[in-house]
Amino acid sequence: MKNNLTKKEISQTLYEKFGISLSFSQSFFDDFIFFLSEILKNEKKFNLKNFGSFKIIQKKERVGRNPIDKKEHIIKARKVIVFKISNKLKKEINNE
């Protein structure tokens, strides 16, 4: 089973499932990603009912280590997006 989906594959699935044009499904998905990023920039948190919530958190600067050569490097402070699945979706996934 494949672990990652591409935007193209998601657009193709929207096209096949809902019978909308491929260009519209690509545009719709791109607009959704843009919408999500704009909300997170302004609000720092976004909840999609029965799906989950997205939140921006600030990570501190820290020391990391390359596992191959064991050299230490500074990992800069940064913002990351965290996703927490809703209980309803978690139950649906685990019941199948």
Q: pLDDT tens for residues 39-55?
A: 888 888 989 899 999 99
Q: Is 22 left (phi over 0), alpha (psi -120 to 50) or beta?
A: alpha
Question: What's the number of domains the chain is made of?
Answer: 2
CA 63 – CA 50 distance, rounded (Å): 37
Range of the domain at 21: 1-43
Count of beta carbons in the 10 Å neighbourhood of residue 11: 20
Helix (H, G, I), strand (E, B) or coil at 22: helix
**Same domain? 49 vs 79:** yes
pLDDT over 80 at 27, yes or no: yes
**Same domain? 19 vs 49:** no
CATH of the domain at 89: 4.10.520.10
Q: For residue 5, what pLDDT is reported?
A: 84
**Same domain? 2 vs 37:** yes
**Same domain? 36 vs 58:** no
